[in-house]
Amino acid sequence: MHPLYYCPMSANAPAPSVTYSQLSDYDFDLPESLIAQHPAAERSASRLLVVNGEAFADQHFTDLPNLLSPGDLLVMNDTRVLRARFFGQKDTGGQVEVLIERINGDGTGLGRIARAQIRASKSPKPRTHLRLADAFTVEVTGRDGEFFLLALPADEPQDFWQLTAAYGLLPLPPYITHTPGSDDETRYQTVYAKNPGAVAAPTAGLHFDEKILAQLKANGIETATVTLHVGAGTFQPVRAENLDEHIMHHEWYHLPEATVKAIAACRARGGKVVAVGTTSLRALESAARYQNIEPGGSLHADSRETDLFIRPGYTFKVVDRLITNFHLPKSTLLMLVSAFAGYDTMRAAYQHAINQQYRFFSYGDAMLLTRIEHAL
């Protein structure tokens, strides 16, 4: 038996009038020792905190197949992380660090222009040339908000897709302090990663291995995929104390027809839609938003940019349960899970996780959350 830790708020409690609309509402103290710097020895060896709105249970990720029900549907993000980080020099000799945030096109003949973050002592101006990885040169052509636009010269035979694969470094999150190694090349990708385009991994998916996937299938739990290319904006801090003033970053997603049909079939048989990670949830809920779908309504295949900002007060339309890692203080992802499972519940769950020495962030442990009706 796993011990249960009761939360201060029942899943059936009426929604409070407080909306938790200040950035400081999402701050908490986290011991630095709990920030996971390396993955667990095996993908599925992580711990799993199960939160159902009334109680917490300390379990292991290998328990997941028995925590879901036959007929449930897991929706996973099949994006693949690009080797998008480069070090180089400006044509004036100054050092630069470049993080490719987005490559135009899909790698089938385009890919000559990219959007990037650049760190340098002085921001490069248009027409500045950057020599990256001592292997190729790009030109800064302008700005797109906080991002720089980069173009390859006409005589460069390779496109950005090929150049990132050949010369780029894996863009580990800023709170992971070691230089990426061969272990990171494998473990900072999901086993089902397929479509390149992300600069950060959909980290809830990192816990799945082939054995877990086989057990889920044997238990009658189905899987489907979406693609959401996680952008560099996911690491940008929220700067506005009043969250009404926060401008959410854009990310591109694709909801395929096969997944639309899988969700409809899941609903028809009485199953639960379980999002693997906040990125899968964001893709599904974005499709519902742009299609004006009511809760439980029928989705359609969709591909577009989304700037959906989910925080307490949001009404979920598609997702019933969520597998997610533990998120940074004051992050939009912490706001999302607070909307999903309840603000007070998440505060208590995070404090419990700290007390029980759970590992936090990308290489850390996981949670299984159940949506509550009044998620405030």
CATH of the domain at 69: 3.40.1780.10
Please report whether residue 330 resides in a domain. Answer: yes
In a domain, 376, yes or no: no
Query: Do both 215 and 311 map to the same domain?
Result: yes
Among residues 167, 192, 222, the one where a domain terminates is 167
Ordered alpha helix ranges (H), the chain? 64-67, 160-167, 182-187, 210-218, 257-268, 278-290, 332-341, 343-355
Choosing from 105, 134, 167, the residue where a domain stops is 167
Co-location of 270 and 295 in the same domain: yes
Do 338 and 253 share a structural domain?
yes
Q: Are the CB atoms for 207 and 366 separated by under 8 Å?
A: yes
Whether residue 76 is found in the same domain as residue 98: no
**Residue 78, φ and ψ in degrees, nearest 5:** -95, 20
Residue with tokens 């999302």: 336
Which of 167, 197, 217 finishes a domain? 167
In a domain, 176, yes or no: no
User: Is residue 35 within 8 Å of residue 326, measured between CB atoms?
Assistant: no
Distance from first CA to last CA of the chain, Å, rounded? 30
User: Residue 330 has what pLDDT?
Assistant: 97
The one-letter amino acid code at 293 reads I
In which region does residue 154 sit, left (phi positive, over 0), alpha (psi from -120 to 50) or beta (all else)? alpha
- 25 lies in some domain: yes
100 and 55 in one domain? no
CA distances from 80 to 43, 170, 247, 305, 337 (A): 17, 11, 26, 17, 23
- Looking at the structure, tell me whether residues 76 and 203 fall in a common domain: yes
139 plus 76 within the same structural domain: no
The SS3 of residue 257 is: helix
Say if residue 146 is in the same domain as residue 14. Answer: no
Expressed as residue numbers, the domain containing 356 is 4-81+184-370
* 334 is a domain residue: yes
- Same-domain check for residues 293 and 216: yes
Give this prediction's pTM.
0.92
Question: Does a structural domain hold residue 179?
Answer: no
Per-residue pLDDT in tens (0 to 9) along the chain, 376 residues: 334 343 443 333 334 445 799 999 999 999 999 999 999 999 999 999 999 987 999 999 999 999 999 999 999 999 999 999 999 999 999 999 999 999 986 555 579 999 999 999 999 999 999 999 999 999 999 999 889 999 999 999 999 999 999 999 999 999 999 999 999 999 999 999 999 999 999 999 999 999 999 999 999 999 999 999 999 888 889 999 999 999 999 999 999 999 999 999 999 999 999 999 999 999 999 999 999 999 999 999 999 999 999 999 999 999 999 999 999 999 999 999 999 999 999 999 999 999 999 999 999 999 999 999 754 3
Q: Residue 11: what pLDDT?
A: 34
195 inside domain: yes
Looking at the domain assignment, is residue 73 inside a domain? yes
Count up the domains in the chain and report the number: 2
Amino acid letter, 341: A
The pLDDT assigned to 5 comes to: 40
What is the Cα Rg of the chain in Å? 21
Where b means 16+ CB within 10 Å and e means fewer, 270-290 reads ebbbbbbbbbbbbbbbbbbbe
The gap from C-alpha 326 to its chain's centroid, in whole angstroms, comes to 11
Residues 73 and 91 in one domain: no
* Cβ(100)–Cβ(116) below 8 Å: yes
CB atoms under 10 Å from CB of 215, counted, come to 16
Which pLDDT belongs to residue 26? 98
**Beta bridge mates, 262:** none
Same domain, 274 and 330: yes
Mean pLDDT across the chain, nearest whole number?
Answer: 92
Q: Does residue 100 share a domain with residue 125?
A: yes
